[in-house]
């Protein structure tokens, strides 16, 4: 993939993730402690296997990236985790939310807005690239169906992509989820150029 | 009886060993395909979104074929990226292998499943409608071979799982949150 090493890209994704957690912490008004963070480069065709298989029901928050280059951001959580986020965002006891209605979609969409903007701003600031998130889409479906949104587009130009997995604690509750960061070949090339110039 | 099974796929081709009534479920990943006359197999595509499953069955030869197709057109891909993730490559590949195992054109039941627009359900626009294009491409490639799908379960805004029984030709489609039904 453009000869880009995982190291520099991992540093940028880590920077972005830290900033996204900062944004989320501000949003819910509680401290967030990141307990683990990992970035993997994987074959696009194998992507569903890391979220438990293509048939597992998941809730996805999806944004596109535009500006200097294109890409995809997808946050994926098992429903119980996504519902816990809704409870945290709405200031109610965890375990209150049990379904994804309009209100819950709106809350998760706002979370996607904040995470997307904070994540991309950190990378944009570090690279001087212009990276803008789209409004988010919030969906509940089979994981494979959600991932098709991005895999079809990515497979046109590349066979591998990056997946960040983060585990963090909010108010004593450990939450883990997948953060798919799928830069286009164009974005990776732009980052490589910026970093060579730096 | 001599059983011949043809399977060419990519790394994600994973036989699922949980059997019901001794039936093995063979799950096809993105870009995988399989043609089989083993009556103890079900061919399965799990969690189809914009992807389309080509399902073919000859009820006399009891030969089944399935492909998990991701994109419509290999000519739009980058050089060196081809293969059966593309509709225009997968359809001829499966049809030829079905014929090799005794399938005959006039007897074939051909079905298409998938091609949803998950994002349309979330009122999100701006990305190309890959699902609809996959279905259109499959219908066109089949039409060029004088074949018309006699069952389709395509479009919409929900993901699907499809299972094809090699033993009976029964095709079952499941949607998230809804029970299985025959296509």
What's the structural domain count of chain B? 1
Over residues B64-108, the pLDDT tens digits come to 999 999 999 998 777 666 689 999 999 999 999 999 999 998 999
B183 is a domain residue: no
User: Is B84 a domain residue?
Assistant: yes
In angstroms, what separates the C-alpha of A172 from chain B's closest C-alpha? 32
The partner residue sitting opposite A148, judged by closest CB among B50, B77, B122, is: B50
pLDDT score, position B6: 46
Has residue A8 got a pLDDT over 80?
no
Task: In whole angstroms, give the CA distance from residue B169 to residue B153.
Answer: 16
Residues 6+ apart with CB under 8 A from A121: A19, A131
Domain of residue B14 covers 5-174
CB-CB neighbors (< 8 A) of B131 in chain A: 148
Q: A interface mutation test: which of B45, B69, B127, B131 has the most A CBs within 10 A?
A: B127
Could you tell me the pLDDT band of residue A50, with boundaries at 50, 70 and 90?
confident
Measure CA of the first residue to CA of the last residue in chain B; give whole Å. 30
Backbone angles phi and psi of A185, in degrees to 5: -55, -35
Domain with residue B136: its CATH number is 3.30.1330.200
Q: What is the pLDDT of residues B4-48, one digit of tens each?
A: 444 444 434 444 545 657 899 999 999 999 999 999 999 999 999
From the list A52, A42, A54, the residue with the least C-alpha distance to B27 is A54
Q: What pLDDT is stored for residue B16 in this prediction?
A: 52
Instruction: State ipTM.
Output: 0.84
Cβ A6 vs Cβ A41: under 8 Å: yes
Q: Does B29 touch chain A (CB under 8 A)?
A: yes
> Which chain B positions have a beta carbon within 8 Å of A56's beta carbon?
47
Residue A193 has pLDDT above 80, yes or no: no
**Choice among B51, B69, B91, B138 that is catalytic:** B51
Residue B164 · residue B42 · CB < 8 Å: yes
Q: Is the pTM of this model over 0.90?
A: no
Q: How far apart are CA A188 and CA B72, in angstroms?
A: 25
The pLDDT of residue A197 is 55
Residue boundaries of the structural domains of chain A = 6-197
Chain A hits for B116, CB-CB cut-off 8 Å, are 145
Active-site annotation holds for B51: yes
pLDDT digits (tens, 9 = 90+) for B97-146: 999 999 998 999 999 999 999 988 776 766 778 999 999 999 999 999 99
In a domain, B180, yes or no: no
Name the CATH code of domain A6-197 (choices 3.40.1550.10, 3.30.930.10, 3.40.50.1820, 3.30.2270.10): 3.40.1550.10
In a domain? residue B122: yes
Residue of A nearest to B162 (CA): A55
């Amino acid at each position: 993939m453009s000869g880009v090493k995982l190291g520099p890209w991992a540093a940028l994704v880590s920077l972005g993730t830290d900033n996204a957690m900062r944004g989320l912490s501000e949003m819910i008004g509680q401290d967030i402690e990141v307990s683990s963070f990992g970035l993997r480069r994987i074959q696009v065709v194998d992507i569903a296997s890391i979220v438990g298989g293509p048939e597992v029901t998941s809730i996805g928050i999806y944004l596109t990236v535009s500006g200097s280059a294109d890409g995809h951001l997808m946050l994926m959580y098992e429903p119980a985790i996504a519902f816990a986020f809704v409870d945290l965002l709405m200031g109610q006891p965890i375990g209150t939310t049990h379904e994804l209605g309009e209100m819950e979609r709106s809350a998760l969409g706002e979370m996607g807005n904040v995470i997307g903007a904070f994540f991309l701003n950190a990378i944009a600031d570090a690279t001087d690239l212009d990276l803008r998130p789209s409004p988010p889409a919030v969906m509940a479906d089979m994981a494979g169906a959600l991932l098709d949104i991005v895999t079809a587009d990515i497979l046109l130009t590349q066979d591998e992509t990056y997946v960040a997995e983060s585990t963090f604690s909010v108010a004593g509750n450990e939450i883990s989820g997948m953060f798919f960061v799928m830069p286009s070949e164009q974005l990776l090339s732009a980052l490589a150029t910026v970093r060579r110039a730096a | 009886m001599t059983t011949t099974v043809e399977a060419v796929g990519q790394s994600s081709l994973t036989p699922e060993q949980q059997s019901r009534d001794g039936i093995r479920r063979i799950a096809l990943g993105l870009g995988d395909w399989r043609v089989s006359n083993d009556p103890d197999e079900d061919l399965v595509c799990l969690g189809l979104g914009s992807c389309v499953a080509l399902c073919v069955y000859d009820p006399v030869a009891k030969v089944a074929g399935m492909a998990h197709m991701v994109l419509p057109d290999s000519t739009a891909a980058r050089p060196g990226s081809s293969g059966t993730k593309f509709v225009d490559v997968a359809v001829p590949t499966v049809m030829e292998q079905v014929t090799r195992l005794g399938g005959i054109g006039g007897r074939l039941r051909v079905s298409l499943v998938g091609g949803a627009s998950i994002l349309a359900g979330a009122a999100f626009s701006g990305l190309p409608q890959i699902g609809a294009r996959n279905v259109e491409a499959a219908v066109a490639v089949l039409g060029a071979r004088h074949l018309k799908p006699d069952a389709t379960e395509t479009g919409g805004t929900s993901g699907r799982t499809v299972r094809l029984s090699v033993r009976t030709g029964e095709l079952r489609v499941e949607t998230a949150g809804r029970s299985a039904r025959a296509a």
